[in-house]
Amino acid sequence: MIYKTKYRQLIHYSLITCALCIQLIICIFIYNEYFNGKKVEVIEHKIQETYVLKNLMEESRKNLLSAQDNLQKYVFNNDKKYLESYFKSLRNLNKNLDSISAYKNINPTLKIFIDARKSELSKLPDLEKSINSVYKEFKKPAPAKVPFKIKDFEVKSIPRKTDTKIEYHLDSVAKKNFLGRLKSAVKNDVDVQRELTIISTKYGDSVNSDQIKTDIDSTINAVNKHYDNEIRKYESSIQNSEKRNDNLYKIYDQLILYSNNWMGIYNIAVNDFSKNLEKELYEQNSINNKIRRYSVLGLMILMFFVLIVVVYYNRQSYLYENKLKLAYEEINKNLNFKNKILGMLSHEIRSPLKIINIFIDRISKKTSDENIEDYLKTIKFTNNSLLIQANQILEYTKNQEKKVELKPIAFNLRNEIKSILRAFEPYIESKNNVFEVKNEIAAEAVVLADNIKIHQVFTNILGNANKFTENGTIRLTMLTHHVNDKTLKLNVSVSDTGSGISKSDIKNIFEPYFQGVVSNEIDNLGAGLGLNLCKEIIDLFRGTISAQSTLGQGTTVSFAINLDIVQ
């Protein structure tokens, strides 16, 4: 049994450690599920917010495309409603970027990613100011358009005898407006409306062909020169208009470029912010999953170990239970044999004790010496005590389950205790001890109690005091006081100057079979049942018992019992 259970304490501490580890793992698991779960929820909430930012970026992209489309429509149709739509789209784009910029004040992480491109943003002009500035220029009233008109050719000198007639004709091509003609000029489209000037000269009857030829050549040269100057003026006007339109288009296109750059920087920042959150979510989920895996694995290992130990101990308990059962049966056999022997001994002892009493009575009748009569009384009292003990042992062997009970009789308390002390004096004197008695019991105190039980208490306590004291002093103090009209309390204190009891043993001296650590010089230690028996008897009297001792200096045992007064 000892060999199999030598590691019991180690295994018990191991089980306790496993239980604590299981509790710790459960706490870690709960912490992971609650607090780390909260972190995951926060990151997921931020990722949901990035969807809003991405939607804003998508709206900004649509606004930019819408602005480009409206600008193209304005260029081709010269309708200001498209230009208004162009500015509206840019303002919506700027509004979305402002929303993203405002969100960075709420989320420091996004601010970090946007501030990382601070150098690029610093190179770009303020988008809102640029839009407002261009819009103000757009809203300025355009200069009044002066329709271009080619001056008619005037003939300043015509020969007197010549009748000259000038006629203007337009061809079948419809005349285009200014922008239409501007586009045709840009495209080098020659299919334009042409004006024809017909000059008719009529001379007299005589015809001079040389003169006519000269006049016609002079007239044609003058016409050509006149229209050549007018065409130059027309081309200059077209170039100025085209240059102005090109400058406006460049400004509008530059504004789209600025918007695209702003949007591109914010788009990169939002994407980086989103990727960073996704990375954080992945890492946090990885940490949570690792904690879950290791927690479950640790619990499985610990529970498996605990299960193995429990199964092992269950098996050992089953084996021990069988052994205990066999041992119990063996003990019962031994107890039955012991009770049989005790019963035989107590039965056989009673007859010699009765015979001793008979001889004591005969000797007492024949002697007249008072000292001898006192000794005979003491011997008879001791013999009667032994006879009573033998009767009790015999009753115990007949019925072990029978509880100890008081058997009260009426007697004088002072005389009864004097008889007990008189019988005990020779035993105390045999070890050269001085027996000091202070008896303050009232002489007329007649009580209804079990005198045999009182005899057992005095015998055991005085016997212990004398057993551990030699060449010393044993003091006995007794006094009584009335609790009420029906109850008398007896207080007794027994002090000795013997070997004493250690502090570690004093609290256990009333336990059955307890002997404590004593000197090797003490003979006949007994079974350690005397004080335990005293405590049981005193409890029957509704009393108390206590002990105080100093190792090497002696012991004091005090008890108090309640006795019924005989009226």
Beta pairing, strands 163-170 & 446-449: unpaired
pLDDT at 7 over 80: no
Question: Crossing angle, helix 209-366 and helix 37-77, to 10 degrees?
Answer: 170
Q: How confident is the model at residue 544 (pLDDT cuts 50, 70, 90)?
A: very high
Counting every residue, how long is the chain? 567
For residue range 73-121, list pLDDT tens digits in order.
Answer: 877 777 878 888 888 888 888 888 888 788 777 777 777 777 777 677 6
User: What does 164-198 look like in DSSP terms, one character per residue?
Assistant: EEEEEEE-SSPPP-HHHHHHHHHTT------EEEE
Residue linked to tokens 């004591």: 360
pTM: predicted TM-score of the whole model, two decimal places = 0.41
Q: Which residue has the tokens 């010549």?
A: 162
Q: Is the pLDDT of residue 551 over 70?
A: yes
Rounded Cα gap, residues 407 and 188, in angstroms:
148
Kindly tell me if the per-residue pLDDT of 561 is higher than 90: yes
Q: Which two tokens stand for residue 29?
A: 């698991």
Cβ atoms of 383 and 353 closer than 8 Å: yes
Residue 520 pLDDT class (50, 70, 90 cuts): very low
What is d(CA 528, CA 511) in angstroms, rounded to the nearest whole number? 8
Q: What are 446's strand-pairing partners?
A: 412
What gap in Å lies between CA 427 and CA 400, rounded to an integer? 32
